[in-house]
Amino acid sequence: MSLNFVFIGAGNLATHLSQALLHAGNSILQVYSRTETSAIKLAEKLHSKYTTSPKEINPNADIYFVALKDDAFTEIMPQINFNNKLVVHCSGSLSISILKNYSANFGVFYPLQTFSKQREVNFAEIPVFIEANLKENEIVLMEVGRQVSNSVTLMNSEKRKFLHIAAVFACNFVNHFYTISEKILKEKKIPFDVLKPLILETAKKVLEMEPANAQTGPAVRFDEDIISAHLEELKGNRNFAELYNSISKSIFEFHQKPE
């Protein structure tokens, strides 16, 4: 199956997904982005056309992939003529129903991964979650998913929302803690490199162990002297001290009370 796609949005996710679909043998007809430089950059990678005008979006694609920020979504979508073709969004949190006013055929194509434009990913390893308004659209999206990923699953909007919340904790918040740890080290002129084996092992542990069983550190040991000493050292940065305190308390609670 070789299909023609249009990408609405040229951010991190659109950049990686569109290239994976192209390499799987499909064609990308056009890229839309409000930001011309983003549109041009992605269109070059995809050998596709581009536009910055919603009204000039090609009405003849098989599937429209929408990967826009919320504010752009409500502004841009009503301006596009989708010609009742299949329109899918790529968001973990948005319900499938937000597409119902734009086409008779719609769905969701959600790849669960953290994408940065400058970093390569192996799309085959990325779990993709599918939802569609009609069985025939579901069949098409499952097939497109299998072109790029070894793990394609049906999931409704309600469950997908919780999957996304879990991903925010396991990825976005985790990365913010890497950022905080780098800042703490930088102030003491310690290279971030020394933390890398620890960061990798912390992640690899939970590929094999239950996260609750992998927990180590002063909070799970209830080592209150060390926690107090750390809070004392962090008091110059109220935000870090507050986070340290509230997360330590959350660890206490979780590991003290049997769930």
Residue number, 54 or 127, with CB nearest to a copy of itself: 127
Of residues 17-36, those binding a copy of itself (CB under 8 A): none
Measured in whole angstroms, the distance separating CA 38 from the mean position of its chain's CA atoms is 19
Is 259 among the residues that bind a copy of itself (CB under 8 A)?
yes
Of residues 73-112, those binding a copy of itself (CB under 8 A): 91, 93-94, 112
Is 154 among the residues that bind a copy of itself (CB under 8 A)?
no
Residues 6+ apart with CB under 8 A from 106: 86, 87, 88, 96, 99, 100, 132, 133, 137
Is 226 among the residues that bind a copy of itself (CB under 8 A)?
yes
Is 200 among the residues that bind a copy of itself (CB under 8 A)?
yes
In angstroms, what is the minimal distance from the CB of 8 to a copy of itself?
16
Measured in whole angstroms, the distance separating CA 22 from the mean position of its chain's CA atoms is 20
Q: Classify the phi-psi angles of 248: left when phi > 0, otherwise alpha if psi is within -120 to 50, otherwise beta.
A: alpha
Of residues 123-142, those binding a copy of itself (CB under 8 A): 125-127
* Pairing of β 63-66 and β 105-111: unpaired
In angstroms, what is the minimal distance from the CB of 62 to a copy of itself?
27
Residue number, 61 or 234, with CB nearest to a copy of itself: 234
In angstroms, what is the minimal distance from the CB of 92 to a copy of itself?
8
In angstroms, what is the minimal distance from the CB of 170 to a copy of itself?
4
Six-digit token string for 125:
């390893």
How many degrees, rounded to 5, is the angle at CA 48 between CA 45 and CA 62?
A: 120
Contact region for a copy of itself (CB under 8 A) — 14-22, 45-53, 138-146, 202-210? 202-210
Contact region for a copy of itself (CB under 8 A) — 16-24, 29-37, 79-87, 187-195? 187-195
Q: Is 80 exposed, middle or buried (0-12, 13-18, 19+ CB in 10 A)?
A: buried
C-alpha torsion sign, points 101, 103, 104, 107? negative
